[in-house]
A = this chain, B = another copy of it.
């Protein structure tokens, strides 16, 4: 959802006084929620709105695009964190970039063996407002193992020494605005450099259905493929995201997400997950023919 020309939210006031929040999925397709607006803030980086909707629960948008909803956040946060840990269960050092709502940190902190968890979020307003309005994701900020840095993710990776992390999770907005630097060659090259030999990079990779989204997926994927020997996409069902199908990228120096998948090791962690399981892990990497072909046409 990042064709800049299509972006931007609309509020409609119904006859009965209802307020509807509308996300423009394309110029001619709208997704609308009947909402109660709880808080709205223009931070130095972006426009943030927290709302309630009966079907999706508590939720918030940034610059008109839905980021997190109570009803389906568990899908996104399961899928950004757990697949990497099922490929390399020996991960000890994690860097989270973005993810100010706290959901990615929450899932990461469930792994007791982790020794270092740095999180770099550019916008303190997202963290502050999530703590106030979205406890379902912002429940782990007090954990002493989490080192929260309010700052720029690109600068952080540029300034990190070689071999600093085993896993980098890029929980970013779309490649427009403050998230833009996280979709550059420079960013991916530094990620490669600061990862260990068994390191894995997971990043938010948009979706394939709307042409504007797909262009962004393709651009990012080209750069990652030019940087990492292994670079694949995996999908999951997000009802609140355009088309309902969203993707993360899995990139690594030598671990393959299917050939090196260790479901037994992962299951020994004993984590109760609402979306992720060993079958979902493998299934997520199966791409339909039309997408395989579109990606090959790069």
Contacts and interface: CB of A to CB of B under 8 A. Distances in A.
A28 B59 CA distance: 14
Interface in A259-298: 273-277, 279-280, 282-290, 292
Contacts of A244: 237-239, 241, 243-245
Interface residues of A, number: 48
Given A29-B55, A31-B31, A55-B26, A274 B287 contact: no
Contacts of A5: none
A267 to B, nearest CB: 12
Interface in A52-95: 53-56, 71-72, 74-75
A53 B32 contact: no
A33 interface: yes
Contact of A237 (B33, B210, B243): B243
Nearest to A290: B274
Contacts of A289: 273-277, 280
A185 interface: no
Contact of A283 (B34, B53, B283): B283
Contacts of A239: 209, 242-245
A112 interface: no
Contacts of A34: 27-29
A20 interface: yes
Interface of A: 20, 22, 25-34, 53-56, 71-72, 74-75, 209-210, 235, 237-239, 241-245, 273-277, 279-280, 282-290, 292
21 contacts: A27-B34, A28-B33, A28-B53, A28-B55, A29-B34, A71-B209, A74-B290, A209-B239, A237-B288, A238-B244, A239-B242, A239-B243, A239-B244, A241-B244, A275-B290, A277-B286, A280-B286, A280-B288, A280-B289, A283-B284, A283-B286
Which 9 pairs of residues, A with B, have the shortest CB-CB distance?
A: A244-B244, A283-B283, A283-B286, A279-B286, A28-B34, A239-B243, A237-B245, A30-B32, A275-B288
